Amino acid sequence: MALTIGVPKEVAAGERRVAVVPEVVRKFSSAGFEVLVEAGAGEEAYFTDDAFREAGARIGKGGEALGADIVLKVTPPSESEIGKMKSGSVLLGLLDPLGMPALSLKLASRSVTALSMELAPRISRAQKMDALSAMSSVAGYQAVLQAATALPRFFPLLTTAAGTVKPANVLVLGAGVAGLQAIATARRLGARVSAYDIRDAAQEEVRSLGAKFVELAFETQQDADTGGYATALTEEKAAQQTALLVPYIGAADVVISTALVPGRSAPVLITDEALQAMKPGSVVVDLAAAGGGNCTATKPGETVTVHGVRIFGPLDLPSEAPIDASAMYARTLFAVLAEFSDGETFRPDFDNEIFKGMCVTHEGQVVHERVRTLLDT
């Protein structure tokens, strides 16, 4: 008997993405799954119910979607949604288990097998399942567009009858997926771009995109962990880093900050001193706002002005490009289910490092070691 996949409408405020798009519904149907999409689930992303029907999905109510064998979501489920999931079902989504560990207990109490998409290990075999990188790429792109709209001057070099306009200076802090996309987008818009990352390995990638790499004169013992994330600096080194960044931040018209590691507070990179060094009208877009922000003045979900500098603290930039963001995310979900299910049976496999890395709850227990540690503290 075919497994049913349920796709409920996202209920988080401002969320416009949907977990599955018609293109991926066709893939699921071909793989032997039955897909049930809640009526209106895709309307904010411009995917109509008729488009889902034509792709082979059935349109139903939210309770039906949440009661499916496998539930696919974008954002973490609410308590109400968890209450409608059936015992033994499977949930895939961006569950934020390191930021919201208590949610794992609620999922375990319903005997839901929950796989958190942002916990996909950064190995080559799991690359097609890496939803976090996909969404980070969208966020980096959108951050530059937001900055370009807010900046009271042009990004590119322009030669006009009224004289020459110099290009804007853009500084990107953090050269992970979001940072590299921000660099590429700012370059396409004609800005003069520089970037900083504590990881030496990032230099080549930054320069390959035509940006200047900012090298600070201080040493670190180890600059990246096994997952490719920057490691936390000692308090002394962190203070050195922020002080050395001040002149580079002060010379920038736009700063895009992206230094965020799941489960940790975002490191402070932009101090009040740095904001004072910036020109009035300059812009900071802090993609680490959800983790407290890389800027001391950041207010998550808000825009504030300090020393004449506008600081944006967006929390869900991928929702600003819901068509492509939804499609990219849906493909990562399909890749996970293609790995662990054949359309009739879901196969938990704790000997598989991908499954073990992503699985948060199973058979009534919180099974992810790091999440259990957070619950015990």
Catalytic sites, residue numbers: 122, 127, 130, 133, 229
CA dihedral 358, 363, 107, 37 (to 10 degrees): 80
* CB contact at 8 A, 330 and 93: no
Radius of gyration of the chain (CA): 22
Q: Tokens 């370009």 belong to which residue?
A: 148
* CB contact at 8 A, 158 and 135: no
- For residues 259 and 266, give the distance between their C-alpha atoms in angstroms, rounded to a whole number: 6
Closest by alpha carbon to 105, among 350, 355, 372? 372
Phi, psi of 204, deg, nearest 5: -65, -40
Count Cβ atoms within 10 A of the Cβ of residue 376 and give its class: 0-12 exposed, 13-18 middle, 19 or more buried.
Answer: exposed
Q: Tally Cβ neighbours within 10 Å of residue 1.
A: 8
Distance of CA 366 to the CA centre of its chain: 23
- For residues 339 and 356, give the distance between their C-alpha atoms in angstroms, rounded to a whole number: 13
Q: Tokens 């975002």 belong to which residue?
A: 266
34 strand-pairing partners = 4
Q: Which residue type sits at 288?
A: A
- For residues 12 and 73, give the distance between their C-alpha atoms in angstroms, rounded to a whole number: 11
- For residues 220 and 205, give the distance between their C-alpha atoms in angstroms, rounded to a whole number: 20
* CB contact at 8 A, 270 and 196: no
Closest by alpha carbon to 141, among 195, 188, 185, 194? 185
CA dihedral 35, 36, 40, 45 (to 10 degrees): -20
